[in-house]
Amino acid sequence: MLELESGSNDPMAYMLTIILIEVATVGARLSVGEVVLQLILQFGVGAAIGLAAGSGQATAMIAILVLGSAFLSFAVATDLGGNGYLAVYLCGIVFGNSSFPFRRGVAKFTDGITWIAQIVVFIMLGLLVNPREMLSVAAVSTIIGVFMILVGRPLSVFLSLAPFRKLRLRDKAFVSWVGLRGAVPIIFATYPVVADVEGASQIFNIVFFVTILSLIVQGTTVISSARRLGLIESASASDDDFGVELADEHPSSLKTIELSEADLSGGDTLKEMHLPEGSLVMLINRDGRYIVPNGTRRLKAGDKLLIIRESESQ
């Protein structure tokens, strides 16, 4: 839910930023009809380009194709007057829900590129900040930040999630608290500076200060707040413990389980575990050491088993 919110907020935030800049620079000459038309064009073209770019697939150099599709969708959508951020977001959603070879490897590649991009962006934005100017807006920025953290976001979250009756109060409270602001608001704050809007430098400093305040206050308390609200799940084994991946077209799937004392109550060997028909243990991970299994191998609590299973249709 939080990832969906974060990704879908950026296109709208970009659009609102552009509209407000035009209002500040054009003034009364900007009509409501023009704003509506611009919204339709931005989101219509952006959505179409993003979905189209995400639909193209190839087996060779798939990681480069995914990255190139993101850049291409942004460039084409922006050139046609659409919303490039929406195009990239939808392109990513389509790719993420598609079946193609080496999905896990591609995910790790794009995750690494994302972290590098974030580091570069924050370094570049940090170079634009004058500490003396930041101090001059510290008081008003703190008031704005505290209001957004304690009043604005909780109010908007509870109103937005009111129709979802199955969500518990603690779930809504967690979503209310984890409203992190990253590099995107700071990037958008540079737009008024480029457009030479009056007071743009002060806007940039305030946005930068509020973002840092959010990261410090909320970012450092994500785990502790989740623990206080009882939302921490016990760690479970994952396929990443083995680094094995099957192509989606294979008529089988992988599952990883971590053995407990209860699992070994009927016997501590594989032949005594009575695995479901069509299942086979491929590897055992014991304290980071990989063991090739056999029927007489003694198992211990805490062992992680990589199991391959036939699909239900087989």
pLDDT at 158: 93
Give the pair of three-digit tokens for residue 39: 């919204």
Helices (H) and strands (E) in the chain, counts: 12, 4
What is the overall mean pLDDT for the chain?
A: 80
CA 15 to the chain's CA centroid? 20
Q: Where are the chain's structural domains?
A: 1-127, 128-233, 239-310
Range in 42-51, 53-62, 215-224 with the lowest mean pLDDT: 53-62
pLDDT at 42: 78
Range in 48-52, 194-198, 252-256 with the lowest mean pLDDT: 252-256
pLDDT above 80 (res 218): yes
Give the pair of three-digit tokens for residue 213: 């305040």
List, for residues 135-182, the tens digit of each pLDDT value.
889 999 999 999 999 999 999 999 999 999 888 999 999 999 987 667
pLDDT above 60 (res 24): yes
Strands 279-286 and 304-310: antiparallel
CA gap 56, 69 in Å, rounded: 8
Instruction: Say if residues 236 and 255 touch (Cβ distance below 8 Å).
Output: no
Sign of CA dihedral 32, 35, 41, 43: negative
Average pLDDT over residues 63-90: 84
- 87 phi/psi in degrees, rounded to 5: -60, -45
Report CA dihedral (99, 100, 101, 105) to the nearest 10 degrees. -90
pLDDT at 144: 93
Range in 33-47, 123-137, 201-215, 291-305 with the lowest mean pLDDT: 33-47
The band of 313, judged by pLDDT with boundaries at 50, 70 and 90, is: low
Place of tokens 């008529």: 251
The band of 293, judged by pLDDT with boundaries at 50, 70 and 90, is: confident
CA gap 118, 116 in Å, rounded: 5
77, amino acid identity: A
Helix (H, G, I), strand (E, B) or coil at 10: helix
Nearest to 268 by CA among 259, 280, 279: 259
List, for residues 268-292, the tens digit of each pLDDT value.
887 777 777 777 788 888 887 888 8
pLDDT at 61: 64
pLDDT at 286: 86
CATH architecture, domain 239-310: 2-Layer Sandwich (3.30)
Sign of CA dihedral 109, 183, 147, 18: negative
The band of 58, judged by pLDDT with boundaries at 50, 70 and 90, is: low
pLDDT at 155: 94
The beta-strand segments (E) located in the chain are 252-258, 279-286, 289-291, 304-310
pLDDT at 140: 93
pLDDT above 90 (res 99): no
List, for residues 224-272, the tens digit of each pLDDT value.
998 898 888 765 555 555 666 666 556 567 778 888 888 787 788 877 7
Place of tokens 């634009």: 128
Place of tokens 């970009």: 14
pLDDT at 56: 60
Question: What is the number of alpha carbons within 13 Å of residue 34 lying toward its C-beta?
Answer: 11
CA gap 120, 33 in Å, rounded: 39
Helix (H, G, I), strand (E, B) or coil at 311: coil
DSSP state, 268? S
